[in-house]
């Protein structure tokens, strides 16, 4: 399986341009998953296309230079990364924003602030 390390943990890539959000998400997830972080869209694309791609990407929408929608679009248009599930984590809560994210290929769209239980085992793209 891709993204597995020696502990057998699945790998989650958290993409957000806000350091506090990256710290929070890593703190919430690190006991369950191997967590990689990226503070930009370009960095996320590089990590996703690496020899050890993540099993899941938690992606912010509002980022400078390249927003999350464009990151998702590029991921889904690349044969090396199109299989990686993307979940948007964003403050954008309009129905149109959610529809756009899902149309681009995301498996879910979660608005901030998040409830930590939504990210635990048995939730989201990893299932039970």
* CATH number where 73 lies: 3.40.50.2300
pTM of the predicted protein model: 0.82
Q: What is the pLDDT of residue 1?
A: 44
Is 96 inside any structural domain?
Answer: yes
Per-residue pLDDT at 121: 57
In a domain, 65, yes or no: yes
Total domains, the chain: 1
Q: What is the pLDDT of residue 97?
A: 79
* 29 within a domain of the structure (yes/no): no
One pLDDT digit (tens) per residue for the chain, 128 residues? 454 445 678 999 999 999 999 999 999 999 999 999 999 999 999 999 999 999 999 999 999 999 999 999 999 999 999 999 999 988 877 788 788 888 988 998 888 777 666 555 555 454 43
User: Residues of 10-27 as b/e, b for ≥16 C-beta within 10 angstroms?
Assistant: bbbbbbbbeeebbebbee
| Beta strand segments in the chain, E | 11-15, 34-38, 56-59, 86-90, 108-111
Asked if 22 and 37 touch (Cβ cutoff 8 Å), the reply is yes
Residue 66 forms part of a structural domain: yes
Range of the domain at 64: 44-114
């Amino acid at each position: 399986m891709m993204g597995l390390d020696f502990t057998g943990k699945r790998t989650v890539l958290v993409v957000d341009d806000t350091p506090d959000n990256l710290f929070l998400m890593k703190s919430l997830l690190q006991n369950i998953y191997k967590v990689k972080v990226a503070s930009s869209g370009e960095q996320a694309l590089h990590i996703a296309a690496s020899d050890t791609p993540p099993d899941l990407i938690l992606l912010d929408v509002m980022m400078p230079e390249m927003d999350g929608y464009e990151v998702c679009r590029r991921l889904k248009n690349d044969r090396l990364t199109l299989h990686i599930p993307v979940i948007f984590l964003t403050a954008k809560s309009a129905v149109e924003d959610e529809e756009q994210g899902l149309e681009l290929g995301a498996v879910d769209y979660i608005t901030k602030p998040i409830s930590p239980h939504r990210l635990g085992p048995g939730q989201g793209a990893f299932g039970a």
